[in-house]
Structure formats: structure tokens, C-alpha cells
Amino acid sequence: MRPFDRALRTLARVVTPEEAHAHCDVPCGIYDPHQAQVAALTILRMNQLIRDLPKPDAHAPADEVETHDAKLGRFIASKEEHAEMCKRELRILWGDYFNPTHLEAHPDVHDLFWNAMKLASRTRQEVDIAAAEQLLATTQQIAELFWDTKGAQTQRVPTRHAVGGELVHPIP
């Protein structure tokens, strides 16, 4: 084994390398707004579930209160996780895909993404169905704009999930 390799192995035992997560910055050229839309739908659904979760009354047994609290905690955690996922997917599209040519054709790109990021933050911080619906509508607009840059027409397709709503897909 070469001295450099030994030194790296020794260093790796002393300092644990951090795991890195990244979208392909080759660039791979594979981008799609689908995940952002699904994340926005999930945020909306978690808001619906939080709204509809029956609150135990003051005299409810402890196990009923614990069940309520556990469900509420899971709904909130999922809402926040998907808000961050939505933001990540939007940042990738905004920062890695859209270029000056796209901006010439769609001068509102920056405002659209900036508003979507703010809405995703709001849905993470609050239980707000109206904000979640706005985020979904904005991700749908972004999807339509994205596919337009690729010369594809789009259609809105019902999700057929309990949340309702639609997803934007390119027409084959």
C-alpha cells in the first residue's frame, strides 16, 4: 500500500467523512417537476389530515390523547419533510435547469420560483390549507412552464388520491 493511501485510511479512521447528497451536477440533463408536485400534494394532504383529526376532549383517557398526539406528530413531521423536499426539487430546477434563454421566453420565472419557495416555507411553518393549495397551484404553473421550455404541451390529470387535486404531465 502506498504511503498516501495509508495516510487517507488513517485519516478516515480519525475523522469520519460526511455523507454528501446532491443532484447530478455533471449536468446530467435529467430534470422533472413531478417530485415537487407530489411533495406539494402531500403537504396539502397532511394539512387536511391535521384539520380533520378529532381532538380528544378534556376527560379523554390517556391512551386516546397519546394516539391523537402521535398521529398529529406524524402528520406534522411528514408535512415539514415534504415542504423541504418541495423546496429542494424547486431549487434544482431553478438553479440548474433554467437558463437565460428560458428567462427571455418566460420573464416571470424568478418571481414564480421565489414565491414557491416562500410558500413552501410557510407550509412548513404553519398549518395552512390555503397556503398548501397555493403551493400546489404554483408547482403546477412551474411544471407547465418547464414542459413549455421543452416544447411539450401539458395536461392536468386528476390524482385519484384522497387529497384530490391534479398533476401536470406532458402530453405524449
CATH code, domain with 44? 1.20.120.400
Q: For the chain, how many structural domains are there in total?
A: 1
- pLDDT tens string 16-28: 666 545 455 556 7
Does residue 6 lie within any of the structural domains? no
Does residue 8 lie within any of the structural domains? no
Residue 162 has pLDDT above 80, yes or no: yes
Does residue 22 lie within any of the structural domains? no
Mean pLDDT of the 3-17 span: 72
Does residue 72 lie within any of the structural domains? yes
Does residue 24 lie within any of the structural domains? no
Confidence of residue 8 (pLDDT cuts 50, 70, 90): low
H helix and E strand count, the chain: 6, 2
Mean pLDDT of the 116-142 span: 97
Task: Print the domain residue range for 127.
Answer: 31-170
133: its cell numbers: 393549495
Q: pTM above the 0.85 mark?
A: no
Average of per-residue pLDDT values in the chain? 92
Does residue 25 lie within any of the structural domains? no
